[in-house]
Amino acid sequence: MKSNIFKMEALTRSFAGWAAIMAILALVGVSGCEKGGSSPVFMQKSEGEHTGSDFVVPKPEDIIEDPDTGLMVIRGVLNIHFSPKLSREEAEKIIAASGGQIAGYDYSVNFFQAKYPLEGEALEKKILELLTRKGVETVAKTSVSVHKDPYYAK
């Protein structure tokens, strides 16, 4: 019995030590450790023309329910995230070559919203096609709602 008490005390002390270390790391991450106290948690490119954003503002008639997920999405609009190594011009060429038009963007993170005159299975095929292209990291439908999950804690 006595050895179990010592094990519990040691476990409690080691847990408290780890908790303290994690708290210190969190504070350092939030406050930043670079010169001037800037935070390394959020960084943005600042090379003039590469910054800036403009996102799609859908019309009510362009918002439809996605049959696969039940989410409300913008008809024919895909979110495409490109590799940071890919230039803005190369990303724009990929969108144009795939039959899309740029509808929104955030140049600082190489993110684009592209409009395609497609729906349903044809749009799913376009997602798969884009994912095969070099420099494309993610492609997803543009959601404007959250999933209705009864177990999701608000």
Q: Structure tokens of 14?
A: 């080691």
Non-local (6+) Cβ contacts of 71 within 8 A are 65, 141, 143, 144, 145, 146, 147
Phi and psi (nearest 5°) for 73? -130, 165
Alpha-carbon gap, residue 44 to 111, rounded angstroms? 13
Q: Give the largest CA-CA distance in the chain.
A: 73
Alpha-carbon gap, residue 50 to 66, rounded angstroms? 33
pLDDT tens digits in sequence order for the chain, 154 residues long: 555 554 445 544 555 555 555 555 554 444 444 444 443 433 444 454 556 788 888 999 999 988 888 889 999 999 999 999 999 999 999 999 999 999 999 999 999 999 999 988 999 999 999 999 999 999 999 988 766 666 655 4
pTM score: 0.63
